Amino acid sequence: MRKFLNFHHRQHSTTPAPVPEVVPTPTVFSWPPEFLCPLSSQPMSDPIILSSGQSYERNCILAWIQSGQTACYLTEQPLSPAELSCSFVPNVSLRSAIHRFCQSSRLEPPSAPSDDEARLFVANLLPEPQPQPLPPAPAAPPVRAAPVIQPRIYHSATNFNSGNSAVFPLPLSSRPFPRDEPPPEETQDVIPCSLAQKLRSYDNDEQAAAAREIRQLTRSDPASRLTIASDGALLSALLQATASPDSRAQSDSVATVVNLSLERESKVLLVRAGVLQFLIDALRSGCSEARGHAVAALFSLAVEEENRIVIGVIGAIPLLLRLVGTSGAGDRATAEDAAMALYYLSLERGNKAKMIREGAVPMLVRRARASTEGEDAGSIQARCFMILCNLTVGEEGRRSLLGSDALAAASEAIEMSTGAGPVEEQALALMLLLVGRGNGRYAPTGLPQPVIREVTRLAQQGKGRIREKATALLMLLKEAQAAELRSRPPRGGEWDMMPPPPPAMQDAHSITGPKTAGF
């Protein structure tokens, strides 16, 4: 009987079913405006940065270009030839900022729109075509419109507050096309199968003719570039021709590699196919023209983040440093491309250590101080400051910079400045990184009074990012001066006569710290 009662009690005293967890409904959330693509008004998943300084979702700007547009949507600045061929610079800093924001807000990272969605976004922004009236009668043939002159390629660095370098547009040239020859008007749709055999020919004239032909095919035809980069046999024959004893075949083959590297899809394919070792051999033992093209190819391949570590491992850094440090006036374009390749390589921490061990800091400082004369010397000087800004990230780089004349070189550039250009902006960025580290050696009395007066002038009369950086530098110096005065009895001097910095800019182009777009 007791067993029956116990069983009956258990049957009627079961635990209640668990209450289902109530999932809170998501509230309406507003994304920061700098995270939204101007074309889709959606948060960006794969942002890229254009030469105009604006960032877009990759699929959206690709659809924008494929719709026939040749200018930036926001600024209406013409796109560069590389951008028109759909070779974009990824905005790594903005993408990381979006991911950090999603993690802190417990949001799912945004997903990229599909190709159809991107085309729909662009179609909604384009004006409706207006019906054209029929011509009254066939008169004279229509006059062709003059071709649009595209600007030179522009690159931007990240904001100095993020620990890298300063934002500024710098005119660069990857020199994919020879300047004395225009691109061909028509390109072949099919790559001749005999090209690979001719490139392996022992007849120098036949090999040179084949190299010239494949170079012409890849000058302005993206389809040919992708086809050759994906054709293992043809690419292997092309790479073997880069070591040809004939300088014509050697130069045209390396120039073809530059053309192939303009396509973003081909950058990683070329590196995986072993193109880097052939470029290094061309740098070491090729003719002068082939060496220039090899540097341009390394510059183009280093833009892709995935390739930077590999380029540093194969030993390209010492060769590029030597070209920057020893190139004369006749090799200015080669030195500029070598400096930009080093800039992109210095974005990787492992490459920073290699560059410092190879003596990059004293060499770059020496070249920056020597690049004060000449028509285009400022471009080399600005690039040297860009690389030095990247090398300040990390203890080893800071120690190397503190033991060099980097601040003196930047001060000389500011003192000798004649306008508002990339040299002044990058010199200010480097000074901000050095003074802003809290180094007593540099703040506040480490800057001579002529330099302080010039920085004050740029803060008052400069424009855009130059004015903002000069203002930030004066504020840092003022804070350091106040800290020094608090630690000892006040004394009169020229520092007390320094005018206060002007108010910060409030326009749409002002820098607001970590929100600044970079890559």
> What CATH number has the domain spanning 33-123?
3.30.40.10
Task: Evaluate if residue 180 carries a pLDDT over 60.
Answer: no
Beta bridge partners of 78: 71
List the strands of the sheet with 89-90, edge to edge.
55-57, 47-49, 89-90
Model confidence at 344, pLDDT cuts 50, 70, 90, reads very high
pLDDT score at 135: 55
**Is the pLDDT confidence value at 100 over 90?**
no
Q: Give the model's pLDDT for residue 502.
A: 46
Residue with tokens 């939204």: 36
Exposure letters 157-169 (e unless 16+ CB within 10 A, then b): bbbbbbebbbbbb
Using omega within 30 degrees of 0 as the cis cutoff, is the peptide bond preceding 33 cis?
A: no
Q: Where in the chain is the domain with CATH 1.25.10.10?
A: 153-176+262-501
CATH architecture classification, 153-176+262-501: Alpha Horseshoe (1.25)
Give the pLDDT confidence score for residue 372 in this predicted structure.
Answer: 54
For CATH 3.30.40.10, the residue range(s) in the chain are: 33-123
Tens-digit pLDDT profile for residues 48-90 = 988 888 899 999 999 999 888 889 998 888 888 888 888 888 8
C-alpha span between 196 and 241 (Å, rounded): 10
Q: How far is CA 346 from the centre of its chain?
A: 12
Structure-model confidence comparison of residues 373 and 292, the more confident one = 292
Both tokens assigned to 241:
């021709």
* pLDDT range class, residue 146, cuts 50, 70, 90: very low
Provide the phi-psi class of 41: left if phi over 0, else alpha when psi is between -120 and 50, else beta: left
| Tens-digit pLDDT profile for residues 318-334 | 999 999 887 655 578 88
pLDDT at 418: 62
pLDDT tens-place string over residues 441-455: 444 445 777 888 888
Q: Is 453 exposed, middle or buried (0-12, 13-18, 19+ CB in 10 A)?
A: middle
Q: What single-letter amino acid sits at 445?
A: T
